Copies of this chain bind each other. A is one copy, B any other.
Amino acid sequence: MSTQKIPQATAKRLPIYYRYLKILNDAGKERVSSTELSDAVKVDSATIRRDFSYFGALGKRGYGYDVENLMKFFSKTLNQDHLTSVALIGVGNLGHALLNYNFHQNNNTRISAAFDVKEEIVGTIYSGIPVYQMDEMMEQIPLQQIEIAILTVPAQVAQDTVNKLVEAGVKGIMNFTPVRITVPKNVRVQNVDLTNELQTLIYFLDNYAGEEVSEEE
């Protein structure tokens, strides 16, 4: 199986497929039909077949997909074979919750460093993670080979913090602030705007109440 350029919507579903295949494999299941997969992950089977076809994974009619092979392939594609270290910037309420949140329960990702301005916590181990001063980003981020940062700072310092992160070599930012940050073209931003998600949900309830809704984005 070879990887070609795939759409972002497909990429977003890969961790969902991977997680379910891992559950099946752990349970000793050897094969799965696209219908079973579809029921479990709530993605219609046509979409699953199209997604899998990008990877050359074509299920056999009457057999379905080989669970172990497919799981191993997705594990490799999702880079689950090595540990990815992530920095968390801003240990407020949300930042603290994310430190405790078990990102690595089902994958090989770990917050290995946190950065904050609060003197009470800088220099301590907080929820198992060392907390550094903001100034130490330039040193610690390359040293720890960190390429991904989770941004949970107050909105008014978001852009300044991002500029420093980019300078320190960060290539991907998971942005929890409501600010639409500006980055160079080679840096990727994943916006996770919780207020926005909630407002969108409310909008749909108010405007499409009682109608059937589809899961597809």
Nearest Cβ in chain B — how far from A133, in angstroms? Answer: 23
Q: Are B78 and A202 in contact (CB-based, < 8 A)? A: yes
Nearest Cβ in chain B — how far from A24, in angstroms? Answer: 14
Contacts A9-B217, A185-B213, A195-B106; A41 near B180 (Cβ below 8 A)? yes
> What CA separation (Å) do A205 and B172 show in the bound complex?
7
Residue A64, interface by CB 8 Å: no
Which one, B9, B109, B201, contacts A174 given CB within 8 A? B201
Which one, B19, B190, B204, contacts A200 given CB within 8 A? B190
Contacts A172-B204, A206-B79; A101 near B94 (Cβ below 8 A)? yes
- How many residues of A are counted as interface, with CB atoms below 8 angstroms from the partner's CB atoms? 70
Nearest Cβ in chain B — how far from A145, in angstroms? Answer: 13
Which one, B79, B96, B211, contacts A202 given CB within 8 A? B79
> What CA separation (Å) do A217 and B213 show in the bound complex?
19
Q: Are A196 and B103 in contact (CB-based, < 8 A)? A: no
Residue A188, interface by CB 8 Å: yes
Q: Are B78 and A203 in contact (CB-based, < 8 A)? A: yes
